[in-house]
Structure 1
Amino acid sequence: MTTDLMRTETKRLLLLGHDYLGAGGIEARFAERGYQVERVQVIPPDRFEDPGVDVDFPDPRDYDAVLVLGARWSVYSDQVASWVKPELELLGTADEAGVPVFGICFGGQMLAQAHGGEVVASPAPEIGPQVVAGIPAVAGIWTQWHHDRFVPPPDATVVGANAAAPQAFVLRRNLAVQFHPEVDADSVRGWVEDGGAEDARGRGLDPEVLLEHVASLDADVRVRAAALVDYFLDQVATGR
């Protein structure tokens, strides 16, 4: 299918970002598939140190799909309770209405929390490229940066995992992934410069070596990110 044909029908994608809005190859593929992206940043940059904001979320039923990105906070932190609860309600409304949701890292954890799973501190935090086993759209090396992990809902189907954590699950029209298919070396460098260097060093990692590793994967990951969106739209979102 050509790009021109992909753009013949415009649909609306609600992109929920918490502390960042960039979704790289994931967002690009949605656009190629005919989606108009509408972004909502939950936490303004001047509130990152005090993230307990009140948020008036849009109605997910006004959209054809929802993409929920990562965050530097924990789902269970009291700091973010003011907006986590209404965002969980948004995810519940989307599920009831059959609106497909794709959750990445924190977004995947929110899907678990919303639908009967839970989010817990990980005994094996993952930073940098890690191997994931699973279905073809999920299997491979993906960049990670998380200290929590999700416990999938009891009725979910796990489609990706590694020794550290469940890495992907499907539940009705919801896809949750623990890894970051949307990031490249430039975006990870932003994380490193925003406090991530200290975090990496605390895990025994050299930030520059980590960035070189991420950069070596950029071209391949962009192709695989597109395939992951195709899997979401063609199989998960259609309920196949």
Structure 2
Amino acid sequence: MKPARIVAIVHSDTDVPGSLPELFSEHGVELEVRSITRPLLAPESIDGLVVMGSPESAYDTRLPWLEAELQWLKDIQHRGVPTWGICFGSQLLSRALGGRVYRNNTAEIGWTPLEILEREWAHSGPWLNFHFDAFTVPPEATLLARTDLAPQAYRQGKAIGMQFHPEIDTAMFDTWTRYWSSTDEGKRFLETAGDLPERMRAEIHDRQPANRQNCRLLVKDFLNQM
């Protein structure tokens, strides 16, 4: 049965969940956005979960919150709570389900169509990818889609992970550019990025209506699996 509330975990106090709150609200579902800096909710109090992205790496043990979140996510999977992992979230979900995350040979940045491997999952995009790491498909999961550079979507029971960013909109992208301009890691990226941020924002703006409709279909599928 469709829940009245789904929890979305963001990985900093300034992160936002893009188009997801409005798209969930179309189904009468409240998306409760909580930062990882707040106490984690008891797994038994959650009817559905979305684990959002992060510029961090899902294997970086220096992150003070990572191991606690990973164990919490494992507990949630043991309870069979419907879970949607996006980008970093898909990587951490893979780890929780027995997969691993690694630094990929090549960054994947830009709008990419997917090679669909399972007919019942027909969300070929194109979708915005922006990642340097990649996940392995968990041992008991089914790979749904991929590109030449990385696995893109998998499902295991009521859990689904997606490497790309279906929820992206210009407001969300603006939080990325603020991060890049305010952190040492981000500044190093900007030094070599040229006009990439400006071009990406323009593309997100132009593609926003079609991308929003594509994301709407993903939200519907997620809710239908609950």
**TM-score normalised to the size of structure 2?**
0.87
Flag structure 2 segments of 5+ consecutive residues without an equivalent.
181-185
Sequence identity of aligned pairs in percent?
A: 30
Which residue of 1 is the match for residue 219 of structure 2? 229
Q: Which moved more, 1:105-114 or 1:191-200?
A: 191-200
Deviations 1:151-210 (A, max 9, x none): 111111111110110000001110100001111123213312421575266356632222
Give RMSD over aligned pairs.
2.1
In structure 2, C-alpha distance between the alignment counterparts of 1:104 and 1:174, rounded to whole Å? 11
Deviations 1:114-170 (A, max 9, x none): 011000001121223222222554311111221111111111111111011000000
2:171 counterpart of 1:171: no
Alignment of 1:205-224 (within 5 A): 206-224=196-214
Deviations 1:39-73 (A, max 9, x none): 21114xxxxxxxxxxx6311122121001100111
Question: Is residue 138–residue 159 contact of structure 1 (8 Å, CA) maintained in 2?
Answer: no
Alignment of 1:131-146 (within 5 A): 131-134=113-116, 136-146=121-131
Q: SS in structure 1 opposite 2:62? A: helix
Which residue of 2 is the match for residue 121 of structure 1? 103
In structure 1, C-alpha distance between the alignment counterparts of 2:9 and 2:108, rounded to whole Å? 23
Aligned residues: 216
Q: SS in structure 2 opposite 1:214? A: helix
Greater than 6 Å deviation, 4+ residue runs: none
Q: Which amino acid is 1:73 matched to? A: E
Flag structure 1 segments of 5+ consecutive residues without an equivalent.
1-8, 44-54
In structure 2, C-alpha distance between the alignment counterparts of 1:228 and 1:137, rounded to whole Å? 10
Q: Which amino acid is 1:163 matched to? A: D
Q: Which moved more, 1:136-145 or 1:175-184?
A: 136-145
Q: Which moved more, 1:154-163 or 1:129-138?
A: 129-138
Q: Which amino acid is 1:169 matched to? A: Y
**TM-score normalised to the size of structure 1?**
0.82
2:43 counterpart of 1:60: yes
Which residue of 2 is the match for residue 103 of structure 1? 85
In structure 2, C-alpha distance between the alignment counterparts of 1:58 and 1:186, rounded to whole Å? 27
Q: Which amino acid is 2:197 matched to? A: P
